[in-house]
Amino acid sequence: MARPGQRPRRHDPERRQRIVDAALRVVGARGIAGLSHRTVAAEADVPLGSTTYHFSSLDELLVAALRQANEGFARALRESDALTGLTAPAAGSTASAPDLAAALARRMGEWIGGERTGVELEYELYLAALRRPALRPVAAEWTDAVAETLSRRTDPVTARALVALMDGICLQVLLTGGTYDEEYARTMMTRLLAPTEPPNLAP
């Protein structure tokens, strides 16, 4: 029973998840620099001790937040009708380059053209790995997950090259405040996916 003047303790089996959700909101509003156990506790409306109980360090909390944020684009690709609807390539071949490039460019446009704050949040956490080594394995998980999804439509090396290209295009749009150009993205991915002719080594 709560003492007079003390709020009753709430049954909160999802408290850990609420803390992670609060951390994402704090980073979205204030950036990584604004993240602390205290700001997250206030945002989640939980005692300060709850955040340190579930996450002994800010790095642990950031790892959980990044892992959750990472699900955005990776899930969008997995669930994309445009991608899953493509005819599966025959053994030893890849999906049609124009078809795959168009599907990826369209899906990127839907993602980055939606709630821009959410996309910026994903990349802010992703790039935080530059200064926080604890986040690097989670950032690598994102790359692996997206590359694995794309590998179902092309070879693994090309899939990783596509991830790098998509990353670069998204970062350019976010950092310059520009508008996503779907046709440009489609053209660049088509070039990357197009088979190359072997060099002519004849004298």
Q: Which domains does the chain have, with CATH numbers?
A: 14-56 (1.10.10.60), 70-193 (1.10.357.10)
In the prediction, which pLDDT does 112 show? 86
In the prediction, which pLDDT does 187 show? 95
In the prediction, which pLDDT does 53 show? 94
> Residue 124: which of 109, 135, 113, 134 has the closest Cα?
135
In the prediction, which pLDDT does 93 show? 47
In the prediction, which pLDDT does 200 show? 54
Virtual torsion, Cα 74, 80, 84, 87, nearest 10 deg: -120
Task: Give 99: exposed, middle or buried? Use CB within 10 Å, 0-12, 13-18, 19+.
Answer: middle
In the prediction, which pLDDT does 85 show? 53
Q: What is the pTM of this model?
A: 0.76
- Ranges under pLDDT 70 in the chain: 1-13, 81-98, 195-203
119, 139 contact by CB (below 8 A) = no
| Stretch (H or E) spanning 14 | none
Encode burial over 129-144: b for 16+ CB neighbours within 10 A, e otherwise.
Answer: beebeebeebbeebbe
In the prediction, which pLDDT does 177 show? 86
User: What CA–CA distance (Å, rounded) separates 109 from 145?
Assistant: 20
In the prediction, which pLDDT does 82 show? 55
> Residue 143: which of 163, 172, 123, 118 has the closest Cα?
163
Chain centroid to CA 175: how far?
A: 16
> Residue 184: which of 196, 175, 172, 176 has the closest Cα?
172
